[in-house]
Amino acid sequence: MDEIAVTTVTKATDCFLKLQGICKSFPGVRALNNVHMEIRKGEVHALVGENGAGKSTLMKILSGAYTKDDGEIFWQGQKVEITKPRDSEELGIAIIYQEFNLVPQLSIAENIWLGREPYINKSVHLIDWKEMYRKTSELLRELNLDIDPKRSVAGLGVASQQMVEIAKALSLNAKLLIMDEPTSALSSNEIDQLFSVIQNLKEKGVSVIFISHHLDEVYEICDRGTVLRDGNYIATIDPKETSKDELIQLMVGRTLDQQYPKVVAKRGVEALRVEGLNRDGVLYDINFSAYTGEVLGIAGLVGSGRTELVKAIFGADPIDSGKISIFGKEVMIDSPQIAIKIGMGLLPEDRKHDGLVLGLSVKQNITMSSLDKVKKHGLLHLKVEKMRVMDFIDKLRILTPSIEKQVQNLSGGNQQKVVLAKWLSSESQVLIFDEPTRGIDVGAKVEVYNLMNELVENGAAVIMVSSEMPEILGMSDRILVMHKGCLVDEFSREEATQELILASAMGVNINDKHNND
């Protein structure tokens, strides 16, 4: 703690950390392109941008989880190299992820001093528990927290666990604290408490990088901010001078140059109707309908409940109340089995974890949900199955050397087509695509879009959850927007713009603008 007290002497306007020309590529993707950022001593600095703007990648470079391809990092005027988490820690950078790095079974004190326990005697590694608890109490007091250091972390609420993380960072003499979406799991009271702690840290001369999707919070707590978009540095802003509308403009600013092969089909009958769907703490009073011949886009920020919504509809997650009807008939969907039986199919967000059995063949994955259709006298008719699979491989142009090939050997695009083939084989009428083109190269993306067009033309209803704004705008006939577990807005294809969707996804009220459109 002594060190922090000493460093407060330096002036608050000093450029404390400077990132210059940071580039980072992953095979096939340019995640960061010539990014620039400056953090002053003792300031709370917002890092804002849409999903996939490069915020996480940039912070992972600062914390040593990734190494930059190009660019320079200056720490208190000195050029430094951060190649591993250890480097970052030694400089005094601490990062608090959304998923905490705590061992639930251990006590608060044990967690804070894990691997750095104070010893009674250095040669005999006997832990000095008294000292450890004393130092922990001191840290907790600094954060105005009244918790027993001996309590196990498992029993603490999210807010207190976060405080333990902050205490740990302080114990490491952190001079720069990076907080990734720190308020996402907190109640408004807890957010106030967090902000007062942040204020407190600021006064001690600790700089904070604050990553948040909630612009209100940015305006409340941050001194300055950096805007990223599609991996590029866009601007450094001062909340006192930049309005929310202007900020949103900076965040989405891209022109819609990507081409989407959208074919507008004729809207048919109501295929799915959701009424009053609730899941405690996750989804609140969701009402909407999806029609055949239509792509219904669901937009929203990461964590707004989009995936949870489609999983609930599909029977993969439990619901607390609500009615679901398929083609006018009310159904109780309490398992994916039932959802599939009545004609639904889900292409999950995490293809490898939820969509495919990677170790099984293309054939086995495609017919997994439709084995009844290739049966004869109760046994699988392997020839019929093979023909059916070959048919889908042709139709969807799945590139695989053989139908017996393990799916894990296929490219992302072809894997996604296998998942789609699975639902086509089970003759699904309502298809839910959750992040349909994630991890797929550009060529395969267009193919997936074309398949979507074909599906709706042939009378299927498609629901598409996507974090990619251009994709939502380019492919949807109608767009629903979610924010904090609620459906907050609906736009037609014609009226939707990036700014409108982003504003409503961030919970910003720009009704006047809405009316103008």
Partner 1 sequence: MTNTTMIDKCEPKEKSSKATIGALIGRYGAILGLLFLVIFLSITSDVFLTGSNLSNIARQATVNAFLAIGLLLAIITAGIDLSVGSTLALAMCSMAIMAIKWGVNPYLSMVVCLAIGAFMGWINGILLTKLHLPHPYIATLGTMYIYRGLSLVITDASPISGFDRAGASEILFLGAGSVGPIPVSFIVVVVVYLIFHVILTHTSFGRHIYAIGGNVSAARLSGINVKKILVIVYTLSGLMAGLAALMLAGRTNSGFPNAGSGYETDAIAAVIIGGASFSGGSGTIGGTAIGVLLIAVLRNGLVLLNVPTEWQTVAIGLVIIGAVAVDVLRQRGQSQ
Stretch touching partner 1 by CB under 8 A, among 215-223, 245-253, 301-309, 369-377: 369-377
Q: For residue 403, give the DSSP letter.
A: T
State in angstroms the smallest separation of the CB of 220 from partner 1.
31
Q: Kindly identify the residues of this chain, within the stretch 60-99, that bind partner 1 according to CB under 8 A.
A: none
Regarding 149 and contact with partner 1 (CB under 8 A), the answer is no
For partner 1, the binding residues in 169-228 under the rule CB under 8 A are: none
Q: Give the C-alpha separation, 303 to 485, whole Å.
A: 8
Tokens 């083939």 locate to: 421
Residue from the set 65, 185, 358, 508 that interacts with partner 1 by CB under 8 A: 358
Q: How far is the CB of 348 from partner 1 (least distance, A)?
A: 6
Q: Is residue 96 a contact partner of residue 179, using CB atoms and an 8 Å limit?
A: yes
Segment interacting with partner 1 (CB under 8 A) among 147-155, 256-264, 289-297, 338-346: 338-346
Stretch 318-337 residues interacting with partner 1 (CB under 8 A): 335-337
Given 409, 458, 492, 509, the residue binding partner 1 (CB under 8 A): 409
Task: Report if residue 105 touches partner 1, rule: CB under 8 A.
Answer: no
Q: What is the 3-state secondary structure (H, E, C) of 304-350?
A: CCHHHHHHHHCCCCCCCEEEEEECCEEECCCCHHHHHHCCEEEECCC
Tokens representing 306 are 């989009």
User: Which position among 264, 357, 390, 442 is part of the footprint of partner 1 (CB under 8 A)?
Assistant: 357
Residue pair 85/63 in contact by the 8 Å Cβ criterion:
yes
Q: Where are the alpha helices (DSSP H) in 458-497?
A: 469-475
- Please report, for residues 98, 228, 300, 312, 475, the alpha-carbon distance to residue 252 in angstroms, rounded to integers and kept in the order given: 24, 9, 14, 30, 18
State how far Cα 168 lies from the chain centre: 25
Query: Which candidate, 295, 297, 289, places its Cα nearest to that of 325?
Result: 289
Measured distance CA(511)–CA(517) in Å, rounded: 10
Q: Scanning residues 255 to 314, which ones bind partner 1 (CB under 8 A)?
A: 314
- CB 27 to partner 1: min, Å: 4
- Least CB distance to partner 1 at residue 311 (A): 9
Out of 7, 242, 369, 453, name the contact with partner 1 by CB under 8 A.
369
Q: Is residue 49 near partner 1 by the rule CB under 8 A? A: no
Q: Is 375 in the site for partner 1 (CB under 8 A)?
A: yes
Residue type, 293: G
Does 27 bind partner 1 (CB under 8 A)? Our answer is yes
Residues that bind partner 1 (CB under 8 A): 26-29, 31, 314, 316, 335-337, 339-341, 346, 348, 353-360, 364, 367-369, 371-372, 375, 378-380, 382, 408-409, 411-412, 422, 426, 438-441
